[in-house]
Structure 1
């Protein structure tokens, strides 16, 4: 198929009538991206949305099912940007989703400050490793580690892009919770709702979902915990509904 290159494959986007290009050696989306796309509050009929650190475009594709607004995805890795662009073309969503190959630190200057109703970001989770620890696969190393952008870079850019009262939502690791809260307030993003995700009942949380409002008033809501797996290693009913619908 002309849409695919190398070891790429064309996967179904879970229960949705969409397909996405993935590659085991370059990038495949995780549950984190799905959870963020479902967690964030989006305007249904119109609005401007932007997703930073888009990878292969999974969050913009998911968001296109929840809103009729315009969506931009930003990805710094050319190979991943190309995969996302081809997925958008395959699904005939070019009139709804635009991909930009660029550095999120420069995007506010390029697109303009305070232009977006919603900003989402699934940034690299881990601080820059030593040369001995870094993944030999450059694509995976950049996606997972703060090599080309830090958490502060991502939060600062998100704040610059968001309108007054606009929503900014991140998915990250609970270990960075205080860093996220501190940086969000530094850049005038007031955390409004948080949800912790647990692999199983009785285990420690391994994922954090957080949504803030640009220059919002303090009023933080902690949502009920989200459990991914039952004891028999099957998805819980909540996760099944998120992944596959009712």
Structure 2
């Protein structure tokens, strides 16, 4: 199931990134080391917060759609070592980095990556085969914003042929009954996201991520259960920064100490 591009005799990727084009960055207070492109789309706190919201337990299977360099998947495995993650990534250079990062962090036996598109997921991702699906889809609608000149960043941030509806359709198709779907997205697209969830998705939880106390949320976490009839809950959410610009203690517990979020 793992995608492996061409490598040289030393095991290095022969293709897309020179070492000078990569950085190796610490996440979760140094628990994880992740290689990622020095330019273009770079993982920040969104995938860390997404991973913290997944209600996974040991033995659970998790699909990470648009996994990038596997930031969310590896953050989840740091918190729930007994889980297994299958990543789907459209861009081959990022898929290769995801595999490298799994090896770097000793998780190659628990994190696999396949190359493909949410509009036609590969057969390796079995329909109805996952306890949880998480996604951090492109957050800008096509034509709604100025497009980055950097192709990798554009693909990661602006919807292409796969719009938000396609991402949600793919995610629901992979979930088992009662499985959880968790999305991090722009707060100003919450109405669109909720409208795409069918009536068969219940136990809806909306978890705002407030930049600072008293400021409007820019991101939200949304979670639902496939085949559940539970009501919508609008939760207190998480304040990320204090008045001085640093992270709040509650945010530090998630971003540095790998604590989960209760949705």
Ranges in structure 2 where 5+ consecutive residues have no aligned partner: 1-9
CA shift, 1:90, in A, is 1.5
Instruction: Name the residue aligned to 2:183.
Output: 170
Residue 189 (structure 1) aligned with residue 201 (structure 2): yes
CA offsets per residue over residues 72-93 of structure 1, 9 Å max, x none? 0111011111111111122221
- CA RMSD across the alignment: 2.0
Residue 42 (structure 1) aligned with residue 63 (structure 2): no
Instruction: Name the residue aligned to 1:112.
Output: 126
Instruction: Name the residue aligned to 1:151.
Output: 164
Instruction: Name the residue aligned to 2:24.
Output: 10
* Contact residue 90 and residue 117 of structure 2 kept, 8 A: yes
- The alignment partner of 2:79 has SS state of coil
- The alignment partner of 1:74 has SS state of strand
Ranges in structure 1 where 5+ consecutive residues have no aligned partner: none
* Contact residue 42 and residue 66 of structure 1 kept, 8 A: no
* Matching of residues 165-244 of structure 1 within 5 Å: 165-185=178-198, 188-244=200-256
Aligned with residue 147 of structure 2, among 134, 146, 155:
134
* Contact residue 118 and residue 168 of structure 1 kept, 8 A: yes
* Matching of residues 16-27 of structure 1 within 5 Å: 16-27=30-41
Q: Which moved more, 1:217-226 or 1:235-244?
A: 217-226
CA shift, 1:191, in A, is 4.7
* Contact residue 114 and residue 122 of structure 2 kept, 8 A: no
* Matching of residues 45-124 of structure 1 within 5 Å: 45-67=58-80, 68-107=82-121, 110-124=124-138
Length, aligned pairs only: 243
CA shift, 1:51, in A, is 0.4
Asked which structure has the greater RCO (Cα within 8 Å, sep 6+), the reply is 2
CA offsets per residue over residues 7-39 of structure 1, 9 Å max, x none? 101112232522100223133212111111111
- The alignment partner of 1:111 has SS state of coil
Q: Which runs of 4+ in 1 moved over 4 A?
A: 1-4
CA shift, 1:157, in A, is 0.4
Alignment TM-score, normalising by the size of structure 1 = 0.92
CA distance in 2, matches of 1:121, 1:225: 19
CA distance in 2, matches of 1:65, 1:23: 22
- The alignment partner of 1:11 has SS state of strand
- The alignment partner of 2:64 has SS state of strand
- The alignment partner of 2:106 has SS state of coil
CA distance in 1, matches of 2:97, 2:121: 20
CA distance in 2, matches of 1:205, 1:17: 28
- The alignment partner of 1:104 has SS state of coil
* Contact residue 108 and residue 157 of structure 1 kept, 8 A: no
CA distance in 2, matches of 1:233, 1:22: 25
